[in-house]
Every structure is written in structure tokens, then in C-alpha cells.
Chains A and B, each alone.
Chain A
Amino acid sequence: MSASKAKVNQADIPVAQQHKFKWTDVLVQVGLVLWAIICLFPVYWMFTFSLKSNEEIFGANVMGLPQNWLWQNYTRALNVGHMGQYFLNSLIVTVVSIIFVLLAAIMATYAMTRLQWKGRKRMNSFFMLGLTIPIHAAIVPLYTTLSRVGMLNTYWALIIPYSAFSLSMGILISIGFMGDIPYDLDEAAFLDGCGVWGIFLRVIAPLMLPAVSTVGIYTFLQCWNELMFATVFISKEAYKTLPVGIQGLSGQYTTEWGPIGAALAMATLPTLLVYIFLSKQIQESFIAGAVKG
């Protein structure tokens, strides 16, 4: 590393340098704003055309705000497009998956960090294999097994694989958090007469709450947007999740953009709302997932 350069000390301090007006700063600002616009444009466009008629979208008013706010696009997406059902399905699948991942990950983490046994390191690296395995790898066997036991077109067909594929990351994040809990607490609880389960339930689990939100958010985003399994394992209208539902809907309404826009907006809005309130936690869950790996 070339950090040795930093050791050389000089007396004159060019503090003023930071406050001087520079053209490059302006350019940087313009660049940053431009990229922000590029990031926001599709979303802006989606919300505006979700409220427009075909005439406006196709010529009269392509980019502007809608002239007539067509809220019936939304009612159509809800009633004809079954968006409410898809939304509920996504919610059920995601929430149950999160619970499964948390339970399995925190328990396994406890066993691998707080309990003493040979091979716990190896067990950990075994679980970490899951970080590189693409979900495609399991699709045929899962599909045939699920169909054989009659579980295609049920919530379980998604919940079980989603939990399994989010597990490695869940364990990875949990290990980071559990490492921060002082071992003295275990000792104290042990001396108070707690067993392994007592320590886990009364000491460790309550202190893992920050991990719960990080793992939960990460799992949420993995499951909420997943497309491949959801396409293959679910063909019944009643169990379709949002991504599959929207994909099917757009096949039905190739020439009517308004209701499609409304469906897209409805699928995106909850994520955006959550993001507005929890942007910091969400960003941190992604960082935790990657940096600790």
C-alpha cells in the first residue's frame, strides 16, 4: 500500500482549497443530477402513464402529467387484473419465508458460534456454499419433486425454496450480529441456571432484533421480486405472485398501456413507501450482506 506517503508531514495546510469555486465541481453536480434524472425517469413515466388514456400516451401528451386523471385504470387493474390477489399472495409467501429464514438462520448461527463442537467452522463454510449456487441448479428436481407430492400451485412451492435460497445470506448476516453480543451474558445466564435453550431464548434471541430487521429486509427483496421459480411452480391464478401476475397481465393487454401502468405502479408503490421510511436500514442490509461476505 502507498499509505506511507501520508506519513510525510508538511506545515502549510491548503484548507482554502476545499472552498474555492471550481468549474469541475459544477460539472460534477450536473453529472450527478443528470444520473438522478435517469434513475427517476422510468418511475415518473410509469406513474404518469398509469393515469392516462391511450390517446395521451401515444401522442397527445407523452411525457407530461396526465390531463385527465384516469383512476379507472387502477380499478381495472384491481378488478380485471386481480392485482389485489397477487399482492396478497406475494405478501403471504414473503412473510412466511422471512419467518422461516430467521428461525433457521438464528438457530444455526447460535449452534455454530456459541456452542462448542468440532467441525463448526466446516459447517459454516458448508452453509456459505449457498451464496454462489444459482437457483437454476435446483429447478428441475424441485419441480419434479413438487409435482410428485402435489405441491405445485401452493404457497409452499415458493416458501420452501425461497427460505432455502435466502438461508446462507441469513446465516452470514446473523453471524456478524451475534459476534457483537458479549459472551459474558451467556456465562451469567448459565450461572443463573439457564440451559442452552434458556440462554438462546432469553438472552440471545432478544438481542438479535437488529439482525432480524436486516435479514428480514434482505429476504423480503429476494422473495418479493423473484421471477423464475414463481413462473415455473405456479400456474394457478389464485397463487400467482406479483411479478408473475404482471407478466401475464401485460400479455393480455398488449395494446392498452394504462391498466398495465397502473398494475406496475401498484406493484412498485409498497416497495417505494417502505424505502422512503427505511432507506437507511435497507441500504445497510445490502451492505451487511455483501461486505461481510
Chain B
Amino acid sequence: MKKLVALMLAAIMLLGIASAVAEDVTLNLWTIAVESDSSYQTFIDAIAAFEAAHPGVKVNHEPTQNEQYKIKIKAAMSAGTDLPDVFFTWGMGFLGEFVAADRVLNLDEYYPAYQEELPVNMTANASYDGKLFGVPYTMSEVVLFANMEILASVGYDHIPTTIEEMNECCDALLAAGITPFGVSGKELWCLSEYLEPLMIKSVGTERLIKLYNGEESWNNPDVIAAVEAFQNLVNKNYFDPNAAALGNDEVKTNFIAGKYAFYQNGSWNCGDIDKSENPAKFQAGLFPVLNADNASLYELIGGPNNTLAVTATTEHKEEAVALAFELGRFMSDADYKSGANLPCWTPDPDAQVSDLVSQVADIAAKSEGMVLFGDNFLSADQANTYLDYIGLAYAGDITPEEFAQGMDDTLYNK
């Protein structure tokens, strides 16, 4: 009997030790939030909060600069060794390639616990064949930032609401010696921030998705009208003539300094604009509708895209999954409050945000359809071909018809 008790005691002690050892877990987290990134501090705070809530779990945060991160994560995924437990990713095409290679953990069994806070409609870009593989935390949309002081100087107290009014406004700006739109011609994705809103406002949400999926031919009057409208902005000198030499950061700086009337780009710019001397003079709006038969003003380019995912090979499934979800929840909230992005998780109703952020949130709330950024939607190869064609259209090297033909060669029925 004594022996038995002793044995049981020993067993209990062993179990205790074992569980104590098991609790001491280190999770590796890879992100793109390097020191100069606007969400660097948020990540630090989020990790601290997580570690406080889970004693014994340490998080080893390894940030890498955006472009290099893409190479690094692909290399690690391709090798399948030395993978982190949790990693930052973009939705749709980017994460999709890793999911297809079976490198990502399916989150379906864990999701119900968080479903109330993270609505299902936010998870679409991280779901493949109806299965969830990532935790989206922030979403962004393309908005038209406007410098209302400059607009007022040419007699406008609002962002033009029709194409005709927009053209008149731009002509008035040009006559006053002001460049209407700031854009980086060096970074092709910035050009797509101008073309895609025109596209969705010419063909409508459903057809744009079909176009990206290769289910509809690009060779149709509505696509061509959108590209024509885009080239019109160039031909009428509405864009900065120096655009080809400027990077996006320089363009943004110029816009904040009052060099342009408009800057159309992602909603993540709110934070930077709010940091300027007089953020009150800036407003966020939308580019007018091109074809009212097909689309409405509140059909948007954007969607949930900043995502955290768990690798299939992680040794600490429970902890890694908890990290992905809890970090996601924290980041969603914090980025929203700092104006860095819109939340995917249901935000705190009392959250204090800047005017600009609430305008952007308001636009998102009125959304009547959203399509993700084309270069996120498509696979890497297709996305780069697509961006190349946008660059060519911008430079006037191809006609809208040639653009459509090129896109059909790349996507249609492929």
C-alpha cells in the first residue's frame, strides 16, 4: 500500500514537473514591423500583453523589411525547415501559395471561440475552399485624400462627386498652378491605386472579381473605358509630371506639404497625415463613379489583408494559435486607434479616433462591395504582369485595347 502511495506521489510529482517544463514555451514570430514601421511599437505592446496573459510563454519577435521579408518567408516555406510558429502574411494570393503547399495550420477548430469578435465576413481573404488558414487583423481600402485648403482656393468646398465635376476641378487646379494628383510612377502598385477604383466604378464588384479570376474577358467596353479614364488623368497632366522619378514616400511627403490637391492611396496613410502640422485641412473621400449603370460610389477597392498565420509544423499548436488570435485582436484595436489601419475585429464602440480615421471607417461601413487590391488578389507571377501592364498604360505605351488583350493573355481562362 505504502509503495503504491509513494508511486502515485512520484507520478504526480513527475507530471507536475513535466507540465511545468511544458509551460516554458518560446514562440517565434516573423513580421514586417521593423523599427521604422508605424506598427513596430504596437507589436511590441501586443507581445508584452500576450506574455503577461500567458506566463511561461515567451515570444521571440523577428521583424524583416517588407521586400526582403517576401523573399525570406518564401525561402523558409520552400525549405520547410527553420519556420517560425506564427508569421505575418497578406491574404489571398500570397498566403494561398503556402496553403497549397500544406505549410499552414488550419484554424477551423479554434475559430468558433473568437467568432463573436471576428466576424465571418472578415475572414474571406484568409479562407481557401471554405477553410480558415489565417487571422486577419486589419483591413484597408483605397480612399481619395484631399487637401481641402487647396480645393477651397479654387472654389470647391467638397470633393467632386461626378467625373465632370472632377475634371473641372482639376482644370481649375492646373490653371492655378497646382498639380491635382500625387502619384509615384516608380512604384507600380501606386498606379494601381488609381486604376483599380476606376475599374470597379466602371464594371462593378462582381465583374471585377470575375475578371481577376479569369472568368470574364477583359476585352469589353467597361474595362476599356476605365483604362481610358486612367490614361486621361495622365494625358491631361493631372498627375505630377515628375511622378516617374518619385517613390511613394516622397509623394506622400509632397502631398502633406501641400504640393498636390489629391492623393489616392490606402487608408493606412491616415496615421501619417494625422501626424502633420494641420491634419484638419485633409479629408478622405472617394473617386466619383464612372458608369452609374454598373457601379455605385461605395463599391471599394480593399479588404482585410494584414493577416497572421500559424505554420503547420509548429511544436506548440495551442500557444501559437492563441498568439495569432490574441495578437490579431490587439493589433486590430491598436492600429485602428493610431490611424494605421481599419479593424477587422469588432472595435471598441467608445474608441477615440481622429476625424480622418472616422471618415475612412464611415466609408467602410457604407461599403456596397469590396474587391481586394489586384496585386494581392492574383498570384505573384500574374500580379507582376498585371502591374507591368498598368505601368505601360500609364506611360502611354499601350492602348486600352492592348491592355485588355494583355490581361486576357495572362488571366482569361487560365
Contact = CB atoms under 8 A, between A and B. Distances in A.
A and B touch in the complex (CB under 8 A): yes
A78 B47 CA distance: 29
Contacts of A152: 72, 75
Interface string B79-96: 101100000000000000
Contacts of A232: 71
B98 interface: no
A254 interface: yes
A255 B76 contact: no
Interface in B37-96: 64-65, 68-69, 71-72, 75-76, 78-79, 81-82
A236 B72 CA distance: 9
A77 to B, nearest CB: 15
B267 to A, nearest CB: 23
A150 B79 contact: yes
Contact of A255 (B36, B69, B249): B249
Contacts of A150: 79, 81-82
A255 B75 contact: no
Among A147, A148, A232: residue with most chain B CB under 10 A: A147
B369 interface: no
A248 B68 CA distance: 10
B46 to A, nearest CB: 21
Contacts of A143: 75
B275 to A, nearest CB: 15
Contacts of B36: 252
A168 B79 CA distance: 31
Q: For chain B, what secondary structure do more than half of its interface residues adopt (helix, strand, loop), or is it mixed? A: helix
A235 B253 contact: no
A235 B64 contact: yes
A73 to B, nearest CB: 18
A147 B72 CA distance: 9
Nearest to B62: A236
A236 B76 contact: no
B250 interface: yes
A148 B79 contact: yes
A279 interface: no
A255 B82 contact: no
B72 A254 contact: no
B250 A235 contact: no
Contacts of A29: none
Contacts of B82: 150
A255 B71 contact: no
B249 A254 contact: yes
A144 interface: yes
A203 B68 CA distance: 49
Contacts, number: 33
A147 B250 contact: no
Interface in A152-190: 152-153
Contacts of A255: 249-250, 253
Contacts of B81: 148, 150
Contact of A144 (B65, B68, B76, B78): B78
A255 B253 CA distance: 9
Interface string A201-226: 00000000000000000000000000
Given A255-B249, A255-B250, A255-B253, A235 B79 contact: no
Contacts of B247: 254
Interface string B371-414: 00000000000000000000000000000000000000000000
Interface residues of B, number: 17
B76 A235 contact: no
B64 A147 contact: no
A251 B66 CA distance: 11
A147 B78 contact: yes
Interface in A234-293: 235-236, 248, 251-252, 254-255
Contacts of B250: 254-255
B34 to A, nearest CB: 8
A140 to B, nearest CB: 11
A254 B187 CA distance: 14
Contact of B76 (A147, A248, A251): A147
Nearest to B253: A255
B2 to A, nearest CB: 52
A251 B72 CA distance: 18
A147 B75 CA distance: 6
Contacts of B71: 232, 235
Interface string A79-109: 0000000000000000000000000000000
Nearest to A148: B79
A248 B64 CA distance: 12
A64 B3 CA distance: 92
A255 B249 CA distance: 9
Nearest to B71: A235
Nearest to A145: B79
A37 to B, nearest CB: 27
Contacts of B64: 235-236
B75 A248 contact: no
Interface string B256-272: 00000000000000000
A254 B247 CA distance: 8
A150 B75 CA distance: 10
A259 B68 CA distance: 22
**Most chain A CB inside 10 Å of its own CB: which residue of B72, B75, B253:** B75
A254 B248 CA distance: 10
Nearest to B36: A252
A239 to B, nearest CB: 12
Contacts of A254: 247, 249-250
Interface in B221-276: 247, 249-250, 253
A162 to B, nearest CB: 19
Nearest to B66: A251
Given A255-B249, A255-B250, A248 B78 contact: no
11 contacts: A148-B79, A150-B79, A150-B81, A150-B82, A152-B72, A152-B75, A235-B64, A251-B65, A254-B247, A254-B249, A255-B253
Q: 3 tightest CB-CB pairs across the interface, nearest first? A: A235-B68, A147-B79, A235-B72
Interface of A: 143-144, 147-148, 150, 152-153, 232, 235-236, 248, 251-252, 254-255
Given A147-B76, A235-B68, 18 more contacts: A143-B75, A144-B79, A147-B75, A147-B78, A150-B81, A152-B72, A153-B72, A232-B71, A235-B64, A235-B69, A235-B71, A248-B65, A252-B36, A254-B247, A254-B250, A255-B249, A255-B250, A255-B253
